[in-house]
Structure 1
Amino acid sequence: MHFETKEDTDSPIAEAFAAVTDFESFERSAIRRGVEVHRNGDSSTAPEDLTWDVVFMFRGSERKMRLEILEYDAPNVVVFSATGSGMMGELRVDLMALSSQRTRMTVRLDLRPKTLAARLLVQSLKLARNKLNRKFRKRVAEFALLIEERQTQIA
């Protein structure tokens, strides 16, 4: 299953990349939503070597996943891989400078089932594809606005 969207943000590419790679902020946000997050590595660890073990509830079942950074090319791209609970996923965030104060963010999410149970889950998600696409686009747009707000607070 594949999701993709693009958003333009009124901030320099370096600021956008800093927001995309603000891992502590994402960890805190996940914990507030009831996700158990265990980072393997600390702030002195190179970003490419960071991994996370996460446990969360989804559709009434506990899911365990391991997240790792596959590619980290500041300030252009960061790619995350997620494996576990019969699923594999890849989240890719590409940033492109449109001008010195404007950045285009392209976010791609690919989910691939590894087990029969995961295939059934993905199939049920495909039935709600339009709703999920809308939610995905909305969340990315909200994140782009958050990047802009951060930029205005700094300036």
Structure 2
Amino acid sequence: MDISLSKEIDAPAAFVFQAVTDFERFEKVAIARGVKVHRRAAPSDAVAGPVWDVQFLFHGKALDLTLAVTDLMAPDHLVMSVLAKSFKGRAMCQLSPRETEKTQMTLSFMFEGQTLSGRLFLKALEVTKATMEQKIAKRMADFARETESAYRATV
């Protein structure tokens, strides 16, 4: 299953990249939403390699994931691997500078089943793909608004 969405943000790529790699902020947001998050690697946000164990309920089922930063190149992109018991995947955030002080942010998610139950789980998600894309688009818009406000406060 693949999902890809884009959003233009009214801030320079370097500033947006800082916001995208503010891992502590994302950890706090996830915990506030009831997600259990445990960072296994040293708390250095500037290098590839942090790893998290994440547990949450998804459609009433407990889901345990391991997320790891596999590639980090400022201010261009961030790639994370996603590993679960029955599927694996990759999440990528690509930042492309646009006109003066604007950045195009593209989020891409790619998942593949490792077991029969994983393939069935991902097939079931295909049915809700449009709803998931709407939710991700809303979160991207919220992130863009917050990042733009933070950037304007520094100018």
TM-score tier (shorter): over 0.9
| SS of the residue 1:34 aligns to | coil
2:120 aligned residue: 120
Tell me if structure 2 keeps the 8 A contact 1:3–1:133.
Answer: yes
1:41 aligned residue: 41
Distance in structure 1 (CA, Å) of the matches to 2:92 and 2:46: 19
Q: Deviations over 1:100-152 (max 9, x none)?
A: 41111111111211111122211111112222222222222222222111112
Q: Deviations over 1:82-116 (max 9, x none)?
A: 10131212111111111341111111111211111
Distance in structure 2 (CA, Å) of the matches to 1:154 and 1:45: 21
| Number of equivalenced pairs | 155
Q: Aligned-residue CA RMSD in angstroms? A: 1.5
2:25 aligned residue: 25
Instruction: Work out whether 1:16 is the aligned partner of 2:30.
Output: no
1:79 aligned residue: 79
AA partner of residue 19 (structure 2): A
AA partner of residue 38 (structure 1): H
AA partner of residue 39 (structure 2): R
Tell me if structure 2 keeps the 8 A contact 1:3–1:136.
Answer: no
1:137 aligned residue: 137
Percent identity of equivalent pairs: 33
Q: Which runs of 5+ in 1 are unaligned?
A: none
Distance in structure 2 (CA, Å) of the matches to 1:29 and 1:47: 21
Q: Deviations over 1:56-87 (max 9, x none)?
A: 11122221111101110011010011101312
Q: Which runs of 5+ in 2 are unaligned?
A: none
Distance in structure 1 (CA, Å) of the matches to 2:40 and 2:9: 31
AA partner of residue 47 (structure 2): P
